[in-house]
Amino acid sequence: MSSELMNQSHIQKKFSADCDQCFGLCCVALPYAKSADFAFNKDGGTPCQNLNAGYRCNIHTNLRNSGLRGCTVYDCFGAGQKISQVTYSGKSWRDSPAIAEEMFNLLPVMQQLHEMLFYLNEALSLAEARPIYADLQKAIAKTEQLTDQDPESLLNLHVPAHRALINDLLLQTSELVRAKVKKNMEHSKYNKKLKQRDLMGANLRGANLRGANLRGVLLIAADLREADMRMTDLIGADFRDADLSGANLEGSIFLTQAQLNSAKGNRKTILPPSLSIPDHWLH
């Protein structure tokens, strides 16, 4: 395995949820409404009825069949354990009720910072981004510094302003990675359709999307079977119920496991080596 692939695998591991080191924050802090993704309503700050005394989910292995598939596609990017073990030094909201509300309010802030770190570190692992390595390293150091602040400072942080700075670097990375192949899309019959950014239910079966910029595109329930999505920018693309069966996503950038978990696919779907085929694709 090349050093680049090892780096990306390490990034996936470093910025993945470690529930054993977290006090079930996502199961308490986050609200959700009864829908196709959630079987019941839950208010923010209220523990889920399936959260046990050990801060684990009683039905973790059966969430999709229990009407809670929304839980299977949430990713804190490791923010939960950072808050639990570093920010609050192992103090839990159950044992220290006075910090509970603050801890819950902190989760979305830390989650966004960790998400930025995930993308920045991936960018730094890409050979094509070498011209901006120094800027990426500075951005990583600054973002890590922000995550180490005290709760009050973090809650007062203007996250959108910092995200705008990070997004500029990620856009530069995208342009560098796609430089050799993005001409593929200039005269593509799909180019006009992709500019709509809303492709819910779109028929893109077998589409040549190599080098496309799909960041933030709504692809809910889209048919992407056998699509060529190599070297595509997939940051923030909404793949809920999209069919990726047989699609080729090799070399795509800024794709997360949570995005894949929200989609459909099969054993023939080609993924970047650092990502895994979700269990529900195999049944």
Q: Do both 120 and 24 map to the same domain?
A: yes
Which residues face 238 on adjacent strands?
Answer: 218
pLDDT digits (tens, 9 = 90+) for 131-184: 999 999 999 999 999 999 999 999 999 999 999 999 999 999 999 999 988 777
What's the total number of domains in the chain?
A: 2
For residues 67 and 101, give the distance between their C-alpha atoms in angstroms, rounded to a whole number: 27
- The pTM of this model reads 0.92
| Percentage of the chain modeled with pLDDT above 90 | 84
pLDDT digits (tens, 9 = 90+) for 58-81: 999 899 999 999 999 999 999 999
Query: Does any domain span residue 66?
Result: no
Q: Of 115, 143, 178, which residue sits at a domain end?
A: 178
Q: How confident is the model at residue 187 (pLDDT cuts 50, 70, 90)?
A: low
List the structure tokens of 153: 């400072």
Range of the domain at 173: 3-30+74-178
Residue-by-residue DSSP string for 193-210: HHTT-B-TT-B-TT-B-T
Query: Does any domain span residue 155?
Result: yes
Q: Of 156, 178, 200, which residue sits at a domain end?
A: 178
Q: Do both 207 and 121 map to the same domain?
A: no
For residues 140 and 136, give the distance between their C-alpha atoms in angstroms, rounded to a whole number: 6
- Residues contacting residue 248 through CB under 8 Å, at least 6 positions apart: 227, 228, 229, 230, 269, 270
pLDDT digits (tens, 9 = 90+) for 16-28: 889 999 999 999 9
What does residue 264 show for φ and ψ, rounded to 5 degrees? -110, 155
Q: How confident is the model at residue 3 (pLDDT cuts 50, 70, 90)?
A: very low
